């Protein structure tokens, strides 16, 4: 029997190459080895300000991107968090075994408070408990996540431990898989790629748009003139090369940059070409899926139903363990 895996992405807008190279591309491979459940975690996405009119499109966009990248509904379960009410139900129960102090010290909470002081809602604080519920609801044992999510996963294990100790063994403690490979930043070369920072290449960008964005992207800021040698190791675009270019090209670019043999613009041209080649099939598949929304909706609904069967069982067991009358 395969081990169960859960991961999810918030539908906060179009998916970008940070999501793709940092998560989904790896998920596609993990589908072979694990019993995978991939969530569109919309209840997480509403903890920050958003426009309700855009949410429907964002959810579809997320599902379509999953599918276009190669998440296969025959192999994996693709589900929408808000269609499986057991997520929020379990989150409530887990709230009652989670000390407030654990949540107050979570780094992402502190960050969001400083970034968004006008909307510090309770959901923002409680975010990691809902995430723990996402994972534990399926008794998942593996969770592929980015580095920034490790504190959340640690907290998930603590919550599982506390629940098990209080009510008897119920949840396995999940372990993380963190993707290897180059980590890419946004086009500003400083921040994580993020829609709100307007520094993304989206999976829906055409080759023309990709070129336009890359041509103005920040490279090694110490390389001021074409004649200056550059340092590929500190250049965000070189990290992108490592993801999409062939070995020989990467070496040519590396040496060319170090010896001022090639300029940033030439380097970017090669990169834009390779990036477009990698993304073009995904973009075409996305366009096709936008034409077949009914199929996409069916996949979301079926996947969520499938997830719900597991979720119901866990919740039944949990309700029994915590002493509720009916379960
Ligand atoms: N917090 C995750 C992120 O922002 C998204 C997420 C929600 C998640 N629930 C999850 C990831 C469960 C893995 C498992 O990236």
**Among 9, 16, 109, which residue has the most ligand 1 atoms within 8 Å of its CB, making it the best to mutate?**
9
Segments in the chain forming alpha helices (H): 17-19, 25-33, 42-45, 52-69, 86-95, 100-104, 107-115, 122-136, 150-167, 207-215, 236-244, 247-258, 264-290, 293-321
- For the stretch 16-46, pLDDT in tens is 999 999 999 999 999 999 999 999 999 999 9
- For the stretch 120-145, pLDDT in tens is 999 999 999 999 999 999 999 999 99
Report whether 227 contacts 259 (CB < 8 A): no
Cβ of 6 less than 6 Å from ligand 1: yes
C-alpha–C-alpha distance, residues 16 and 65, integer Å: 9
- For the stretch 65-115, pLDDT in tens is 999 999 999 999 999 999 999 999 999 999 999 999 999 999 999 999 998
Which CA distances in Å does 80 have to 42, 121, 124, 228?
7, 23, 20, 50
**pTM value?**
0.95
Residue 49: pLDDT band by 50, 70, 90 thresholds? Answer: very high
CA of 145 to the centre of ligand 1 (A): 7
Q: What is the dotted CATH code of the domain comprising 207-287?
A: 1.10.240.10
Which phi-psi region, left, alpha or beta, contains residue 70 (left: φ > 0; alpha: ψ -120 to 50)? left
Segments in 70-96 forming alpha helices (H): 86-95
Architecture field, domain 4-184+293-322: 3-Layer(aba) Sandwich (3.40)
Cβ of 244 less than 6 Å from ligand 1: no
The pLDDT value recorded for residue 181 is 65
The pLDDT value recorded for residue 13 is 82
CA of 72 to the centre of ligand 1 (A): 20
CA of 153 to the centre of ligand 1 (A): 9
Residues belonging to the active site: 112, 192, 195
Cβ of 41 less than 6 Å from ligand 1: yes
C-alpha–C-alpha distance, residues 7 and 124, integer Å: 19
Q: What are the structural domain ranges in the chain? A: 4-184+293-322, 207-287
**Among 16, 46, 131, which residue has the most ligand 1 atoms within 8 Å of its CB, making it the best to mutate?**
131
């Amino acid at each position: 029997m395969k081990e169960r895996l859960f991961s999810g992405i918030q539908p906060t807008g179009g998916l970008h190459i940070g999501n793709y190279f940092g998560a989904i591309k790896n998920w596609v491979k993990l589908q072979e080895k694990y019993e995978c459940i991939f969530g569109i975690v919309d209840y997480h996405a509403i903890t920050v300000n958003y426009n309700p009119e855009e949410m429907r499109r964002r959810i579809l966009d997320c599902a379509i991107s999953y599918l276009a990248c190669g998440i296969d509904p025959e192999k994996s379960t693709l589900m929408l968090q808000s269609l499986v009410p057991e997520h929020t139900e379990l989150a409530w129960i887990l709230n009652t075994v989670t000390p407030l102090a654990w949540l107050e010290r979570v780094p992402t909470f502190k960050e969001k408070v400083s970034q968004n002081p006008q909307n510090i809602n309770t959901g923002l604080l409680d975010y990691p408990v809902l995430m723990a519920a996402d994972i534990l609801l399926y008794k998942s044992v593996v969770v592929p996540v980015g580095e920034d999510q490790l504190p959340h996963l640690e907290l998930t294990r603590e919550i599982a431990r506390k629940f098990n100790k209080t009510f008897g063994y119920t949840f396995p403690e999940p372990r993380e898989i963190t993707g290897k490979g180059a980590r890419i930043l946004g086009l500003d070369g400083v921040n994580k790629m993020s829609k709100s920072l307007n520094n993304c290449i989206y999976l829906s960008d055409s080759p023309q748009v990709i070129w336009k964005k890359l041509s103005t992207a920040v490279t090694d800021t110490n390389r001021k003139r074409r004649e200056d040698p550059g340092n590929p190791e500190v250049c965000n675009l070189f990290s992108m090369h490592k993801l999409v270019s062939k070995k020989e090209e990467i070496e040519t670019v590396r040496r060319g940059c170090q010896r001022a043999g090639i300029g940033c613009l030439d380097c970017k041209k090669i990169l834009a070409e390779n990036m477009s080649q990698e993304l073009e099939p995904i973009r075409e598949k996305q366009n096709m899926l936008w034409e077949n929304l009914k199929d996409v909706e069916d996949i979301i609904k079926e996947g969520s139903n499938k997830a719900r069967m597991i979720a119901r069982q866990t919740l039944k067991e949990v309700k029994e363990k915590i002493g509720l009358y009916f379960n």
